[in-house]
Structure 1
C-alpha cells in the first residue's frame, strides 16, 4: 500500500501518509476539499469515515487494510494527478498540478506506458528531484569546469551546464544532444540552458530523453531496481529511498496479474 504507517486517532499519522490519504479523498466522486497539508485532523478523519460502508469511526487506516484499496480503486486509470500525488507524497500540490500534464505527455512519447515502467520511472524522478523540489543542482557547477568527459571545453561551461531537470542533465555534451533531439536552443547562453529547470516540459523531457537514450524501459520491464539505479546514478546512492518510492508507486500503479 502507498501508506507506510497507521492513520487515525492516537496513530502515527506520518505527514506523508496523511497527505496521501487527503489526496485520495479529494479525488473521490464527492470530494471534501481537504487542505493537502499532511496534518491529521478532524476534517480528514470525518471525510475518511464518510467513505466507509459502515461509517466506523474507530478503526485506523492501516497499510494493508481496505480503506486505501477502496479509494485507489475509485480513481481513473492512467497517470492522473491523484495517483501521481500519492507517489510523490512529499511534493506540494501545486507542483503536482504544474507537472502532471508534461509527465503524461512525455512518458507516453517514450513508451513509459505500462504499470511497471511508470512505477520505476516515477520512483526514480521522485528520488532524484526530492519530490519535485530540486529542479536544478544546488551546487554552483564549478566542479564540472574543464570536464572533458562532459564536453565542457569552454570557459564557464561547468556553471552554465550544471545539472538540471527531473533526472539531472549535466555538461555541454548532454545539453547539446538533448538540444538536437528536441530542436530547441539550450546551449547559446546560460539563460537558454536554465530553461531546462524553469520550463516544466523541458524539465520532464530531459528525464524521459535520458530514460530512452539509456534503454531504461528494458530494465524496468525486468523489475531490476539496482540496474535502473546504476544506469542513472553510476552507483547505488540513495537505493533505500528509491526502493521506498518504488514500493509506493507499485501500490498506486499495480501490475495486472496474468490470468
Structure 2
C-alpha cells in the first residue's frame, strides 16, 4: 500500500467518525434563493461574486421569517441597492469639504466649517453621529466605532447593541462579526425584523420600506426596479 493509499484510508475513516455536515436544505421560497436570483436583483455583480451570498441569505431569511415572495424579494433588492452585495462594506465617510456642505447642510453650512472634517472619516463620524442612535458625545468616539457596516449599513450604538444581544455576543464581537459576509447579512435581517419590515413588504410598500431604511426615498426607482425583477424571477421559479 502506497503512502497515498494510507492517507486516503485515514481520511475515509475520519469522515465516517466525524462526517462533514451537509448544507441545510430549505423549502418554500427560501429554497428558491440561488445565485441566478441574486444576479437578477444585483446584475452589476457576477455569479462568482454572488455565490458566497446564497447560504448566508437563506440562513438569515429562515431565522427572521423572511419567508414569502414579497418579503424575500424586498429584503434582497433593498440589500442589493444599499451595497451591491459587496462583502465587508463599510460606510464611506471620506468627503471633500464642498460635499460635506451638500450632504450635511445644517451641520456644515460653510466650506470653512466643513474644512476640519474633510477627508477625515473618523473625525466626521464622531461629529455627525454624536448624541444619536444611542451614541455618546463627539468625544466618546461612538460615531466612528458604531459607523455603518454590512449590506444594510447598521449604524449606531443602539443598533449594534441590539444586534449583539440577539446574537448572544458582546458588542465588540458583534462589530467584528457584522463586518463578515455571514454577519453582515444577519445584521441586515436583524434590522429588517426589529423595524417591522416584513409587515411593510406584505402591504406592499417599497416606498415605506425605503423610508424606514434610508430615512427618505433616495434611490426609490432603482429599489423598485430591483424588487419587481426579483418578484418576477421568484414567481417564474415556482415560488
TM over 0.5: yes
Deviations 1:89-115 (A, max 9, x none): 112333311111100010111111111
Q: Normalising by structure 2, report the TM-score.
A: 0.67
How well do the aligned residues superpose, as a CA RMSD in angstroms? 2.4
118, 133, 136: which is aligned to 2:90? Answer: 136
1:201 aligns with 2:186: no
Kept after mapping to 2: 8 A contact 1:161/1:175: yes
Question: Relative to 1, partners in 2 of residues 1:143 and 1:90: Cα closer, same or farther, differing over 3 Å?
Answer: same
Which structure 1 residue ranges, 4+ long, deviate > 3 Å from structure 2? Answer: 141-144
Please tell me whether the aligned partners of residues 90 and 131 of structure 1 are also in contact (alpha carbons under 8 angstroms).
no
- Which residue pairs with 1:222 in the alignment? 203
- What residue ranges of structure 2 are gaps of 5+ in the alignment? 1-29, 94-120
What is the 5 A alignment of 1:94-243?
A: 94-132=48-86, 135-139=89-93, 140-145=121-126, 147-153=130-136, 155-187=140-172, 193-197=175-179, 199-243=180-224
Which moved further from structure 2: 168-177 or 209-218?
168-177
Distance 2:47 2:33 in 1: 15
Q: Distance in 2 between matches of 1:126 and 1:225?
A: 14
Which residue is equivalent to 2:228? Answer: 247
Higher fraction of helix: 2
How far off is 1:250 after superposition?
Answer: 1.5
Structure with more contact order per residue of length (Cα contacts < 8 Å, sep ≥ 6): 2
Is the radius of gyration larger for structure 1 or structure 2? 2
| Counterpart Cα distance in 2 of 1:138 and 1:108 | 30
